Structure 1
Amino acid sequence: MSRRVSMADVAAAAGVSGQTVSRVVNGSPRVDPATRAAVEAAMTRLGYRPHRAARALRTGRTQTVGLVASTLATVGNSRMLQAVADAAAARGYSLVVVTLGGDSIAPASADVDAAFERLRDQGVDGAIVLNEATDLVRDASTPVDIALVVVDSPPDDRFGVVVTDHAGGARAATEHLLSLGHRTVHHIAGPAGSFAAAERERGWREALAAAGAEASVPVRGDWSAASGHAAGALLAGEASALFVANDQMALGALRAVADAGRAAPAVSVVGFDDVADAADYRPPLTTVRQDFDRLGERAMALLVARIEDGAASAAPYEVVPAALVVRSSTAPPAP
């Protein structure tokens, strides 16, 4: 029987130390790209495969991370799950997923402590918390034995944070509509208590204030297309321009204005997220693109750093830009 290829074999082949090979295997960000490439090439050439159980005994780590979400029913959360899963796999980590509220987007009384206990049972080294679940985590007793990174949260010295520039994207969307000649822009907002919804509303308000335009009271939805349709039906008679807090609600709003005989772009509609189908809406949707792949990659990179460095790792706060994508659902107001 042939001998199993060891880390020492890889280190000798790549001309590096065993510690450097260990860092590459464990996904540490503290390896320069050229060295990482040399080590990975040596692994491939020698057919090296990490021995997970032995590594766990040696390092006290399982190479498993958790993901906590309030629900996976929303497009944003499901896209983030895919992005985090891809980023974890690229670093050799397994992923355990825990949802707090079934199909509920904002569970009223989720047992966050129980969620972390489930992750402890799986022996995770750390966890990434998504979107609406972050409010619950901030109010809970943050576990000291699990490294944490949250997606969409104000800065917090207890964990790392990665956010989309929601406010900047919302400002760009609102400024685009105002630049077309609309006197004001109505807003279909996300649910109260959502960090992303609040930031998008803030960006909308800031753009209107800077232009001296009046801000009406937002109509709230729950991220679903049905709630966007209900909100759009309330605004279709008076609005010439709508900034909608996500693409699913924008889809419902597009149907609502069409039902009212004012199909877009007779009423201009802008969404947020740039979901895969946005370009195939009728009409193709102007929207703000979130870079979900980048969010997942950066969240995983920060989590690995905290797993590797522990308390020595600061609680970084990273902002991922959002970009306006103009399509044909927006136009100047009718004369």
Structure 2
Amino acid sequence: MTEGSARSTRQPSMADVARTAGVSAQTVSRALRGSPNVNPETSRRVRAAVQQLGYQFNNAARSLSSGRSHTIGLVLLRSGGYYSRSAVTAGVEAAADEARYAVTIATISALDTGLMERSLSKLADQGVDGIVIAVPLISVTQRMEDITRNIPTVTLDGSRTAGARVLGIDQREAGRVATQHLLDLGHRQVWHVSGPDEWIEARRRREGWQECLAAAGIQAPPPLEGDWSPDSGHRQGQILAMIPDVTAVFAASDEMAFGVIRALRERGRSVPDDVSIVSVDDIALAAYCSPPLTTVRQDFYRYGAAAVALLLGGADAGVEESVASASLSVRGSTAPPRLP
């Protein structure tokens, strides 16, 4: 099939309308919503482009053209970290409530493209005004691309479709910052308890760890994979506790770090006197565990609230699409290695 014939059979998208009208996709979305922030001439051009291209409104677009549904869709993974799920949900719901919007939550049981596509299709059919995706997109189908082009979408983990915007921290930098902190303390090797390989965040944090060690001329040891849970951290911590040379561990999440700390203590290894531990998330419990946990901060609540502001107002609301720099909260779980 030639490029021309493929173009002729593909349904026009919001991006096509934007190009024809000479405006951004965000402006097209606002024009179709009837936003007062779009001037009449721009709105006329958008609607002329819609008619010229034969752009087909989905249920969400029909709802927007006749009056907003005042509903935000939120996609979560059922088996993700408890704190991150609850904090993101709280942030989304608080911001949506302030804007007088309802939130419809779609949970998927596994990182499966089919499940994600069905969840997004369900939200689109319900006519949501925007979607927040708080799970990684391992692969993207054409249907997912079409939905996230036609409905304003923000992702919170660094993965994205062509039409989605992204908020969050640079996950690769998070791995580098965590690892470099341990090297700067004088540790000669850093072991890693990683998240599940199918998670983009886990891959990128692992890559950051590997890159940091390589830059220091250190060959990375084999990573030990967990599933974000304290239990998986405990299992891998039991392995680490039996390796005498382990003095520093980078755990990919706070909850796994809690499990690692317990396993080390059960084996008679003290934190941080014998082993230093750093992780990622900075959940509320991190500052109150014993010892308080050194960790790279992710403000899940703020990202959830900011995603809603970006969906509803974008630049007009003072919120920009961004991948923030990683910031380390240094506490009592890390220290220089014990002298021989």
- Indicate the residue corresponding to 1:189 in structure 2: 194
Pick the aligned partner of 2:128 from 124, 127, 133.
Answer: 124
- Indicate the residue corresponding to 2:257 in structure 1: 250
- Indicate the residue corresponding to 1:89 in structure 2: 97
- 1:165 and 1:319 in contact (8 A); partners too: yes
- Indicate the residue corresponding to 2:301 in structure 1: 293
Separation of aligned partners in 2, 1:91 and 1:320 = 25
Separation of aligned partners in 1, 2:96 and 2:85 = 16
Separation of aligned partners in 2, 1:224 and 1:29 = 47
TM value normalised by structure 1 = 0.74
Q: Percent identity over the alignment?
A: 41
Q: How does 1:116-155 map to 2 (within 5 A)?
A: 116-132=120-136, 134-135=137-138, 138-139=140-141, 141-142=143-144, 143=147, 144-154=149-159
Shift of 1:117: 3.5
Separation of aligned partners in 2, 1:30 and 1:225 = 48
Separation of aligned partners in 2, 1:247 and 1:109 = 27
1:224 and 2:229 aligned: yes
Deviations 1:206-233 (A, max 9, x none): 2112211221111100000000011111
1:284 and 2:292 aligned: yes
- Indicate the residue corresponding to 2:312 in structure 1: 304
- 2:169 and 2:324 in contact (8 A); partners too: yes
- 1:65 and 1:96 in contact (8 A); partners too: yes
- Indicate the residue corresponding to 2:328 in structure 1: 324
Q: How does 1:59-78 map to 2 (within 5 A)?
A: 59-71=66-78, 73-74=80-81, 75-78=83-86
Pick the aligned partner of 1:262 from 266, 269, 283.
Answer: 269
- 1:155 and 1:317 in contact (8 A); partners too: no
TM value normalised by structure 2 = 0.73
1:233 and 2:235 aligned: no
- Indicate the residue corresponding to 1:209 in structure 2: 214
Shift of 1:163: 2.8
Matched residue type, 1:323: S
**Which region of structure 1 is more displaced relative to structure 2, 108-117 or 268-277?**
108-117
Change in CA separation of 1:73 and 1:211 when aligned onto 2, cut-off 3 Å: closer
Change in CA separation of 1:110 and 1:264 when aligned onto 2, cut-off 3 Å: farther
Deviations 1:65-95 (A, max 9, x none): 1001122651222221111212222322211
Separation of aligned partners in 2, 1:251 and 1:30 = 48
Question: In structure 2, the residue corresponding to 1:299 is in which secondary structure?
Answer: helix
Shift of 1:107: 4.1
Separation of aligned partners in 1, 2:71 and 2:213 = 45
Mark the runs of 5 or more structure 2 residues left unpaired by the alignment: 1-29, 39-62
Separation of aligned partners in 1, 2:189 and 2:125 = 52
Aligned-residue CA RMSD in angstroms? 2.8
Matched residue type, 1:276: A
Separation of aligned partners in 2, 1:241 and 1:258 = 14
Separation of aligned partners in 1, 2:178 and 2:36 = 35
- 1:66 and 1:98 in contact (8 A); partners too: yes
Pick the aligned partner of 1:178 from 154, 165, 183.
Answer: 183
Q: How does 1:41-56 map to 2 (within 5 A)?
A: none
Give the number of aligned pairs.
Answer: 273
Q: Which runs of 4+ in 1 moved over 6 A?
A: 28-31
Deviations 1:140-168 (A, max 9, x none): 62225432222223454222122322222
Question: In structure 2, the residue corresponding to 1:293 is in which secondary structure?
Answer: helix
- Indicate the residue corresponding to 1:159 in structure 2: 164
Matched residue type, 2:119: A
Change in CA separation of 1:140 and 1:197 when aligned onto 2, cut-off 3 Å: farther
**Which region of structure 1 is more displaced relative to structure 2, 80-89 or 182-191?**
80-89
Matched residue type, 1:135: I
Question: In structure 2, the residue corresponding to 1:135 is in which secondary structure?
Answer: coil
Separation of aligned partners in 2, 1:223 and 1:57 = 38
Deviations 1:28-57 (A, max 9, x none): 8969xxxxxxxxxxxxxxxxxxxxxxxx78
Mark the runs of 5 or more structure 1 residues left unpaired by the alignment: 1-22, 32-55, 309-315
Separation of aligned partners in 2, 1:30 and 1:203 = 42
- 1:131 and 1:196 in contact (8 A); partners too: no
- 1:29 and 1:304 in contact (8 A); partners too: no
Pick the aligned partner of 1:111 from 111, 115, 138.
Answer: 115
1:274 and 2:287 aligned: no
Change in CA separation of 1:110 and 1:260 when aligned onto 2, cut-off 3 Å: farther
- 2:75 and 2:135 in contact (8 A); partners too: no
